């Protein structure tokens, strides 16, 4: 169903099955003041030229955030039962109220990593500016957006900062309520993926078969290997932390060249090394078990315009299924298995069956089976080349911003971890997110370093400066 108008300033639509599925995974954490799979995206910016000493930089970011909301109103949509709701700001006070709940300047943290564990669930997407680190942190519930959407939005935000920088340099910025024709933005509210992809509400028998086949992969999680964790099944989660490792440009180039020569993607190669480390660091009683992980793919390239473009950045347009590898197979076997999985891509038939797939998952999660033991594997999510979503520089050397670092991760409330993989500025990055209640910083730093070592050893690449 498209967005419909409830009143002069209120619009609503039903949540799609894919969004409901994510909410069913995420929302149980609300009782603890947390949210499983909430997404955090970061960029570190370096002002250039006239903007280097701009004292009103937080005001510029705040104004650009208002403009970004005008361009992407779904940032301010919120869930109400089984619907998404959006209110057009009808006064300057209403817009200021939203800003007070969605934009924050942080002066008492060294980096976004110190802020992330403190964030509580909220109605809207939120933007933080960590002044000391010159970092922008975009935080949102996962039902609102996928992994690709955040970098797209942060790139557009910085672009808007450049656009409004001359005004900020010459005097106070205008009131954002007066600056934009509020009400026009409702035409840009994003639909659920089921509507964006024109997926049939009544599936054919073939679509039912495809959907059931995808759902059946979730059975592969039973009896899978896990890594050691602290506490027991009753230990509540705490904050989400991260262990990040960056390869040098020369090492990255060597790894990419070797992967290409072997007919592998970097994602497939890292995935195989991740499997190897899960096996190596397994709970002793789990020795001999298989490893199950997720094959995550974006649906965006397969959707019609504008949903395949940055215009629809604030939307949940992603999919995935589970894959299994066994410990007695070789690293090469695992890498080939993952390469084949990723190369499947998204067929037109799979896309048309996706509403049914998500509906089946929703039905399962409404009455989820209780696993005999808490899963504690480390999974993977690849972003690919970040420059596909945001640039290294915005504006000019005389008046602009350089993006020196990017990051992405989800909040974890389980004993599992996720390694996010991407390249930016010719550097391969591995970022492992985990919950501090179940894993130590030393354990997870060692884990991600083991993935690095395994990858370099398999490719016979020496670490280069």
Q: Where are the alpha helices (DSSP H) in 174-330?
A: 176-179, 193-196, 205-216, 249-261, 266-280
Report the alpha-carbon distance of residue 45 to residue 60 in Å, rounded: 13
* φ and ψ of 130, to 5 deg: -90, 105
Residue 403: CB atoms within 10 A of its CB come to 23
CA quadruple 14, 16, 21, 24: dihedral, nearest 10: -10
What CA–CA distance (Å, rounded) separates 281 from 283? 7
The segment(s) of the chain belonging to CATH 3.30.559.10 are 4-193
| Predicted pLDDT of residue 178 | 97
pLDDT at res. 1: 62
- The Cα 435–Cα 26 span in angstroms is 15
Question: Of the candidates 103, 118, 115, 121, which has an alpha carbon nearest to the alpha carbon of residue 36?
Answer: 121
**What is the rounded end-to-end Cα distance, in angstroms, of the chain?**
54
Place of tokens 């008046």: 399
d(CA 67, CA 53) in angstroms, rounded, equals: 23
325 burial type by CB count under 10 A (0-12 exposed, 13-18 middle, 19+ buried): buried
Strand, helix or coil at 417? Answer: strand
The confidence score (pLDDT) of residue 368 equals 87
Q: How far apart are CA 272 and CA 286, in angstroms?
A: 19
Q: Where are the beta strands (DSSP E) in 1-141?
A: 4-7, 10-14, 39-49, 78-80, 83-87, 103-106, 126-130, 135-140
Distance (Å, whole) CA 160 – CA 436: 36
- State the span(s) of the chain assigned CATH 3.30.559.30: 195-388+414-459
CA angle, residues 172, 176, 180, in degrees to nearest 5: 125
CA distance 239 to 268: 30
3-state secondary structure of 269: helix
The CATH homologous superfamily of the domain defined by 4-193: Chloramphenicol acetyltransferase-like domain (3.30.559.10)
Cα separation, 395 vs 278, in Å, equals 44
The tens place of each residue's pLDDT in the chain, 465 residues long, gives: 689 999 999 999 999 999 999 999 999 999 999 999 999 999 999 999 999 999 999 999 999 999 999 999 999 999 999 999 999 999 999 999 999 999 999 999 999 999 999 999 999 999 999 999 999 999 999 999 999 999 999 999 999 999 999 999 999 999 999 999 999 999 999 999 999 999 999 999 999 999 999 999 999 999 999 999 999 888 999 999 999 999 999 999 999 999 999 999 999 999 999 999 999 999 999 999 999 999 999 999 999 999 999 999 999 999 999 999 999 999 999 999 999 999 999 999 999 999 999 999 999 999 888 888 999 999 999 999 999 999 999 999 999 999 999 999 999 999 999 999 999 999 999 999 999 999 999 999 999 999 999 999 999 999 876
Q: Any idea which residue has 């009782």 for tokens?
A: 31
For residue 371, the model assigns a pLDDT of 86
Q: Is 333 in contact with 323 (CB distance < 8 Å)? A: no
* pLDDT value, residue 370: 86
pLDDT value for 463: 84
Token readout for 376 is 């504690």
State residue 465's pLDDT score: 65
Pairwise CA distance, residues 291 & 431, whole Å: 20
Indicate the CATH number for domain 195-388+414-459: 3.30.559.30
CB atoms within 10 A of CB 420: 21
């Amino acid at each position: 169903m498209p967005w419909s108008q409830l009143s002069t300033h209120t619009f609503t639509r039903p949540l799609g099955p894919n969004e409901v599925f994510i909410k069913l995974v995420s929302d149980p954490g609300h009782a603890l003041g947390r949210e499983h799979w909430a997404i955090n995206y970061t960029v570190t910016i370096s002002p250039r030229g006239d903007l280097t000493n701009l004292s009103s930089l937080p005001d510029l970011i705040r104004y650009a955030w208002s403009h970004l909301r005008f361009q992407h109103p779904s940032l301010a949509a919120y869930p109400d039962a089984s619907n998404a709701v959006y209110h057009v700001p009808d006064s300057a006070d209403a817009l200021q109220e939203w800003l007070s709940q969605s934009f924050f300047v942080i002066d008492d943290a060294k980096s976004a990593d110190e802020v992330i564990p403190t964030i509580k669930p909220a109605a809207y997407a939120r933007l933080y500016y960590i002044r000391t680190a010159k970092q922008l942190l975009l935080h949102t519930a996962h039902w609102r957006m996928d992994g690709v959407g955040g970098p797209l939005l942060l790139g557009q935000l910085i672009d808007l900062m450049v656009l409004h920088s001359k005004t900020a340099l010459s005097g106070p910025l205008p009131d954002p309520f007066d600056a934009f024709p509020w009400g026009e933005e409702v035409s840009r509210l994003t639909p659920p993926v089921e509507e964006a992809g024109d997926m049939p509400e009544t599936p054919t028998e073939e679509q039912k078969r495809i959907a059931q086949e995808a759902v059946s992969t979730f059975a592969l999680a039973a009896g899978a290997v896990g890594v050691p964790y602290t506490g027991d099944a009753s230990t509540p989660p705490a904050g989400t932390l991260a262990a990040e490792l960056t390869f040098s440009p020369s090492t990255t180039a060597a790894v990419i060249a070797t992967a290409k020569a072997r007919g592998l993607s970097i994602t497939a190669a890292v995935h195989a090394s991740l499997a190897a480390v899960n096996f190596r660091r397994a709970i002793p009683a789990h020795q001999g078990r298989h490893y199950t992980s997720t094959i995550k793919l974006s649906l965006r390239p397969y959707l019609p315009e504008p949903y395949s473009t940055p215009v629809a950045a604030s939307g949940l347009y992603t999919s995935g299924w589970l894959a299994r590898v066994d410990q007695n197979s070789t690293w090469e076997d695992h890498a080939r298995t993952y390469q084949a999985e990723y190369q499947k891509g998204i067929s037109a038939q799979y896309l048309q069956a996706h509403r049914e797939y998500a509906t089946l998952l929703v039905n399962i999660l409404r009455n989820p089976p209780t696993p005999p033991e808490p899963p504690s594997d480390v999974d993977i999510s690849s972003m690919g080349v970040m420059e596909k979503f945001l640039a290294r520089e915005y504006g000019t050397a005389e008046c602009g911003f350089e993006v020196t670092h990017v990051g992405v991760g989800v909040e974890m409330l389980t004993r599992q971890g996720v390694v996010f993989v991407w390249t930016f500025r010719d550097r391969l990055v591995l970022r492992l997110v985990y919950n501090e209640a179940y894993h130590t910083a030393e354990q997870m730093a060692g884990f991600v370093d083991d993935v690095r070592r395994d990858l370099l050893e398999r490719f016979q690449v020496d670490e280069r400066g």
